[in-house]
Amino acid sequence: MLKDAKCQKIRGSKMTKIHTSLRRDIFYLFFTVLFVTCLSAKDYSIKGTVKDSKGNKIAKTAVLLLDSDGNEKQREDTKGRFGKGSFKFKKVLPGEYRLEVDAGRIGKGSTPVVITDDDISDIEIILKKQTRSAAPNELVMHEDTQDESREETTVLSSVQPTSDEDYILNELSFEIKKMTAEIKHLNTELNDLKSLSKMWINPIAIYSKEIILKNGSTVFGKIIYQDEKTLKVETLIGYLIINRGDVVRVVDNIVMEEQQEYVPEQIRDSYTPPPMPKLAEPRYVSSSPEARKAGKKYSANCVLMGNISEKKDRQGNVIFTGQIKNIGGRRADFVKVDFVFRRNWSGETKTLTTFIVGIYHTFESGITTDATLLPGAVGTFELYVPHSFGSFIGYSYVIDWMEYE
């Protein structure tokens, strides 16, 4: 038993020594392989120059050495005064690399480099200017900026004014409304004054309705109200109540106003109207110099004198007669009366025209007319409406004329 125990003890000590020796040998072998590998892995250098598109060397510009995965291994700046534009990377292991340069406004450049078993010393990196195109990220940033500006505008617009600002705005609004009301009032008064001036020059310009009564009288006014029995008429002397049974006919006197020639605003200041035809000097009824001066100052104004007479002959034809007076200060030529007849209640109308019989006047062009009225003169007219014209329920008339120098 003792021998067996001694044998086992001796055997265990021998195994321990063997394991220790084996570990030592493996450790020495590992370091030997590592040392040999380090000696065999030689490093190299990369030299080159950075130039722009014109061939000028670029100094003090960063050059990056990137591996095949795009990771930065080294970074060097090109030299300045001495060896301008040159760079050098040391202790570069064999492999595939890429040199990249970004010189800003001067341009960008890159070139691939492969190191196997020798140094590289003849590399030239040419920088090229690139046209700037908006990248997707920049577009997204631009859209985000617009969204932020919209949100800021919305926030600013949603800001409510303070109490002082409300008070000032209310005061300004009140003043604007007050001034608007005053302007409307002044416009109303101005229109009233214009109406009064027209009324004294020609009352028919205000009260165009001519109401012919059975007793032969005529009322010029404005019909304010009417029903089946009465008419309420506004006149120069006040309001009149007229029985509808006493009314023979209501005539609408349409006064023609002179229409001004339209001139575009762009040439309104420099525009000169064409000259009127130079005709013979008219002869006036009055021989006084004052009348001649008045004729040059005021224009012609032809109005109806009295009523328009209406009668029928034996054949059933209707004849309208009346008198026209020139109450203006100038000669009126080619004076005519346009009758507008209403045929039925549906609004169908028809127009007939007649010229007055005045005095004869010959123009310098040789044209002679008898439809001329001097200031203060009276002319007659007659309109023949044949039986074939048919019946009508009413009519209105317009007095028209021309004026020449």
Please indicate whether residue 32 or residue 187 has the higher confidence score (pLDDT). Answer: 187
Structure tokens at 401: 């004329």
How far apart, in whole angstroms, are the C-alpha atoms of residue 336 and residue 373? 11
**Average per-residue pLDDT for the chain:** 76
Least confident range from 263-277, 284-298, 387-401: namely 284-298
How far apart, in whole angstroms, are the C-alpha atoms of residue 166 and residue 144? 35
H helices of 64-162, where?
136-157
What is the predicted pLDDT for the residue at 335?
93
Q: What are the distances in angstroms from CA 405 to CA 295, 326, 329, 330?
A: 11, 16, 12, 9
The DSSP call for residue 136 is H
140, amino acid identity: V
Beta pairing partners, 235:
238
How far apart, in whole angstroms, are the C-alpha atoms of residue 289 and residue 304? 27
Least confident range from 65-69, 113-117, 207-211, 374-378: namely 207-211
Main-chain phi, psi angles of 317, to 5 degrees: -80, 145
Please indicate whether residue 384 or residue 24 has the higher confidence score (pLDDT). Answer: 384
- Return the half-sphere exposure (C-beta side, CA atoms, 13 A cut-off) of residue 5: 2
Overall average pLDDT of the 135-146 stretch: 48
What is the predicted pLDDT for the residue at 258?
52
Residue 283 banded pLDDT, cuts 50, 70, 90: very low
Overall average pLDDT of the 57-75 stretch: 86
**Helix, strand or coil for residue 268?**
coil
**Residues 6 or more apart whose Cβ sits within 8 Å of residue 176:** none
36-45, 79-88, 266-275, 380-389: which is most confident = 380-389
**Residues 6 or more apart whose Cβ sits within 8 Å of residue 49:** 57, 78, 85, 86, 87, 123, 124, 125
Structure tokens at 242: 């007229």
120 contacts 97 by C-beta, under 8 angstroms: no
**Helix, strand or coil for residue 96?**
strand
What is the predicted pLDDT for the residue at 287?
43
Q: What are the distances in angstroms from CA 266 to CA 263, 274, 334?
A: 8, 18, 35
Overall average pLDDT of the 372-390 stretch: 91
How far apart, in whole angstroms, are the C-alpha atoms of residue 235 and residue 323? 23
Q: What angle do CA 225, 226, 229 make, to 5 degrees?
A: 140
What is the predicted pLDDT for the residue at 176?
92
Dihedral over alpha carbons 19, 23, 24, 29 (to 10 degrees): 140
What is the predicted pLDDT for the residue at 202?
61
Question: Among all chains, which residue has been given the structure tokens 């109308």?
Answer: 349
Q: How many other C-beta atoms lie within 10 A of the C-beta of residue 50?
A: 28
Strands 120-126 and 108-115: unpaired
360 contacts 368 by C-beta, under 8 angstroms: yes
Overall average pLDDT of the 181-188 stretch: 90
pTM score of the predicted model: 0.32
pLDDT at 351 over 80: yes
**Helix, strand or coil for residue 314?**
coil
Residue 292 banded pLDDT, cuts 50, 70, 90: very low
116, amino acid identity: T
Q: How many residues does the chain have?
A: 405
How far apart, in whole angstroms, are the C-alpha atoms of residue 106 and residue 127? 7
How far apart, in whole angstroms, are the C-alpha atoms of residue 323 and residue 352? 17
Helix and strand tally (H, E) in the chain? 4, 20
Beta pairing partners, 29:
none
Overall average pLDDT of the 241-259 stretch: 73
What is the predicted pLDDT for the residue at 262?
63
Please indicate whether residue 137 or residue 362 has the higher confidence score (pLDDT). Answer: 362
